[in-house]
Amino acid sequence: MYQTMVNFRMDTDDKVALEALCGKLGLTLSTAFKIFAKKMLREQRIPFDVSIDNFYSENNIRYLENQNHSREIWPAGGAFPD
C-alpha cells in the first residue's frame, strides 16, 4: 500500500496538548489521526456527534438581548420606577 502525506493547520497550543495526550495513550499524533481516518472510513460517518449549539442561534441571542434590556429598564427587585 502506498502512503501519502497529509498536511493541515491547527492551533499550536492544541497540537502540543494533543501530542501530550497521545503520548499518555502510547500513540503518536500521526497514529491517532490514522485511527480517526480508518474509523471514519469504516463507519462512513464522523465517529462522534457534530451539532450546532442552539445557545448561539439568532432566536436565542435575540431572546437574551431582550432579557438583558428588560433588566436595564426594571431595577433589581422588580420595583417600578417613579
47-75 confidence digits (pLDDT tens)? 988 887 788 888 888 888 888 766 655 55
Calculate the average pLDDT of the chain: 85
CA 5 to chain centre: 26
C-alpha to C-alpha distance for 74 and 81, rounded to whole angstroms? 7
∠ Cα 60 67 76 (to 5°): 155
b/e 30-40 (16+ beta carbons within 10 angstroms → b): eeeeeeeeeee
29-53 confidence digits (pLDDT tens)? 999 999 999 999 999 999 988 887 7
First-last CA distance in the chain: 81
Q: Are 68 and 61 in contact (CB under 8 A)?
A: no
